[in-house]
Structure 1
């Protein structure tokens, strides 16, 4: 019988061949890693202020300098931003600045750019938009107080205020109501938690209306994380809690255009400029100028980026969902997750340019949040095999292929990442 070579890593589904993944990162010269943060390089926790990142991981990112960017819906700045986590891990702001430990890349869905030195800018964002966003956290806190004022026997006083402090994320470019803490506090009152989700959804609609009344009708949109994909109107579908699952926990009021898949183009644009001195999409390009559909984004890459210079892209995320529901008697797959679209675009770019792009999935279900489905593994002849991914097993037509998976979560991923960095020349 003739030897049949195993499929290449980018052709595999749910591969556990971490050695091959490490080898690719360590030896590929023209490489660009685009990585999410929460759940990928640090654990998911109920209170964002409790997040920590390992120094070894931060040092490893430096070995990939010029070949590594973050892409997150969180933010670099603010008391809950990634920079504060970095500074606390290192023991102070001065050490972070001197050592250039800040993570370069795009935050707030792509509208907040940061250099390795920690220099921040907001390409394409107006002062009027930033001023409106600055008032949103207070409105979130007020709405939470109004909600629980109707249920004083459930939560009140200092306990309520502590919950609000943990839940209202005063991000500069993407203020967020994060309900993880309230999901835990309302653990035995599921219907009330769902009512709270409705209340936050109503607040988001009110904020959009207020913005429109101030002449900012095309400035913002609402991002739900995790979600059940987008409806026919292009808006994300809120995932209401069922059973012990928390469903949508993050209600983010974001700048229009701040979608992670557009961030892939912005990062590629900067990568090419660093290599050639030329910005394929122009030096002033920002995510706010990019189209929103998958096909249009892919076309923009095909039309503007030199295939001879296209790097191998490695996308890393942890939030990918799908659920099959019945509509008019027919099964319909609702696909979502805040990392899905940017990972799908990276996959499509690799398929077109034949660059062997890798979609990497980190299983973050072992964290404190209850809105992740764990990978299911089986032992087959002494070898562990992934038999079910994070989506609905009935969704057999999902176009997103998770090439390499880390069922051990962020610790397993970070260890592999650091191993690759140590070998990088």
Structure 2
């Protein structure tokens, strides 16, 4: 574990308080990653093979889009329930309930498509695995159940990790002064919600991050349908989305390192959002053109690095803005806003899609080897609209976003000196 000593000076007296960051937090992080991968994977696992899935279930590709829409809509309906559980009963209860429901849902979905009851029922790290795994596993429509069993097994693994690793809601001692004071200074739940919703800087961050996240979720859901109409294969479409997910992971690390060295949290957030939008627009432009595999990969890397990489630091600054409000409230609101806007963008894209122009009808691969009467669609108008929305929002955010760092101000009230004490730790410790 790592010990940090804080020297508190009040009225001429000096008191040394030791805060401890336990190594078992890494086990908690891995558990949460498994939960996110399995849960998000189930939300988008058929999106990269939308036409094959539509053929398997004997529905339209629009109906398949609702597999992902349900994943985006339900968290909106239950977000306040989940934040209340975390606030009232603490983290351990919230994580265990979520993991159990995730596991039950995944296994039910797997069984439902395996043929046992399929005749009776004819349905935002993360995305990285699903976008590539699905096209590899599902080369023909009969392999859809196999895909669901893979994600069912992943959810079961996440549930086992939760049972082993999540044994308490917080460490025996607080990791920092802000963590200690934040817990004792928190108002009742409804008052915390009021504080969050009446913070102009947070509302600005909420809109900016929500729009960019919604855009990402829209691409995650509809990229295969957009790109197959331009002649790109299911596997390549999945690779494009996986690339900006991988680049987002790398970008988040790089952005965090720069922020850690400069402490310019707000400026870096604005910078990364601006470049995320610029390269997102570049990516959309390339989506409109057939046969541009190299440009798609390059623009995916650039968009992912900034547009996806900015997400963790946006959550960080959200906590800074709303401190001492419980962290799950601000992060959940950002997450839910992205879900809502993702649903709206997906729905609008389906409504505004049009028939393929004659020059694309000979190169589209959406309906290749499909026995159902499905038609490929053109999303060019939708892409242009998304570019306009992104441009408008990021200009407003860059010009007007300003905020104090409330949590860091608490940390700066003490003189800090770091020492490290090596130790060993296990999941169950």
> Greater strand percent: which structure?
1
Give the TM-score taking structure 2 as reference length: 0.25
What TM-score comes out, normalization by structure 1 length?
0.25
Kindly indicate which of the two structures has a greater share of residues assigned to helix: 2
Structure number with greater Rg is 2
